[in-house]
Structure 1
């Protein structure tokens, strides 16, 4: 009597793969980024994860840049909006700090965010919340419109800079070299540096982020918008 052998299953008997959607593609991309880093999030790697061909993905995502922007938008969905009430400046700083913290937690995404241009719902929600807070604080519409871009640029650059330093093995030595160079600068050739050397490197990243945001908000409120930007 011959032993039973598994017969090849026809394609019709195999379970059907879940239909591709933009949402499932972005979810899979976020998973790859968190496990392997943003650099590994390519169309080829994503197609492998989803058991499909790269060409199938282009129906939903035009290119890698758009995919990275979609990942950023998805991650922004984890930001909790500040509670209503209280000082509008504090809520604005809380929201932008939360945005920065999200990028801190995803170093490769922080650097990509400097060039990425997300346009998804979570990014639009963030802009809407910032505009509402600036409006509450009395910012003119034209100044608020340009001010939001400035605030996000500063927060994004801060996160990208810190993320890069955190991943660099040489960062502590480079920082020590900078502190030493400033402290030993000649007051004859560089009098302002010599006078302010301790202040130039003082403060924690959070303190500097907070001060920078407040300085920008003050500037947004008091700097008239250009003529061409008036509503």
Structure 2
């Protein structure tokens, strides 16, 4: 099998090209422009051609750093994860508080860039990126300091991250819909509730849930729901994976 076919298909798994002359564009410039395009116009707007136009550069300049759009997304995903607050170590008794702060920061970061939830499962080997690696190492360290074995720390971290990404995916979908509608979250929800209650006429529990949402602040409800769910996750992680002693 040719050597190039054996390479791992990831921007993080191959050496960066060495050039004696200074390339017209830096990797940072490309990633910054791609992130801006994604934040302002969404995932559907991203293409190598459009990015080149934004940078006033030809494809050759970009292909020095990224082989294709998939590699570009790996870079941008890692850039976004660089915004997440890395949990501080050094307090074995405070592992829950440290993980909670990190989880809240991760949720906030994902919701600042709602397009990202659509690509997390397709972002190749994004976990090899430096920002994701730094965050992962810190989370593992926090759990280990709290008495978890390394294997248990890995399981606990993955469980917390899965919860955060799962909740944020649903929230990001709602926020994306809101952005298209031009309405505020509170206004949009209040207009939706009558239709939701009507659709739930044959489902008494759903109808009561929808009725109970009238007059509530939607953002506060989302924040409370995330906090309570995270507390449940951490309680389960502690009961199942933390040392009994």
What is the TM-score normalised by the length of structure 1?
0.71
1:24 is the counterpart of 2:29: yes
Q: Deviations over 1:41-70 (max 9, x none)?
A: 211112222333324433322322221221
CA drift at 1:109: 1.9
- Return the index of the structure with the highest Cα Rg: 1
Contact 1:143 1:221 in 2 (8 A): no
TM-score by structure 2 length?
0.68
Out of 215, 223, 239, which is 1:206 matched to?
223
4+ residue segments displaced more than 4 Å = 82-86, 173-184, 196-203
Aligned counterpart, 1:220: 237
Shift in Å at residue 155 of structure 1? 1.0
Go from structure 1 to structure 2 and tell me whether the alpha carbon gap of 1:183 and 1:49 turns closer, same or farther (over 3 Å shift).
same
RMSD over aligned CA atoms reads 3.4
Distance of aligned partners of 1:17 and 1:142 in 2 relative to their CA distance in 1, 3 Å threshold:
closer
Distance 1:221 1:54, change over 3 A: same
Alpha-carbon distance, 1:162 to partner: 0.8
Please tell me whether the aligned partners of residues 138 and 221 of structure 1 are also in contact (alpha carbons under 8 angstroms).
Answer: no
The corresponding residue for 2:154 is 145
Mapped to 1, the partners of 2:151 and 2:193 lie a distance apart of 39
Q: 1:39 to 1:198 in 2, by over 3 A?
A: closer
Aligned to 2:11: none
Q: Distance in 2 between matches of 1:95 and 1:224?
A: 19
Q: Point out where structure 1 has 5 or more consecutive residues left out of the alignment.
A: 1-15, 187-192, 226-231
Q: C-alpha distance in 2, partners of 1:48/1:55?
A: 12
2:37 equivalent to 1:39: no
- Residues 92-171 of structure 1 mapped to structure 2, 5 A cutoff: 92-117=99-124, 118=126, 119-168=128-177, 169=181
> How far off is 1:18 after superposition?
5.4
What residue ranges of structure 2 are gaps of 5+ in the alignment?
A: 1-20
Aligned residues: 204
**Structure 2: how far apart are the matches of 1:146 and 1:34?**
32
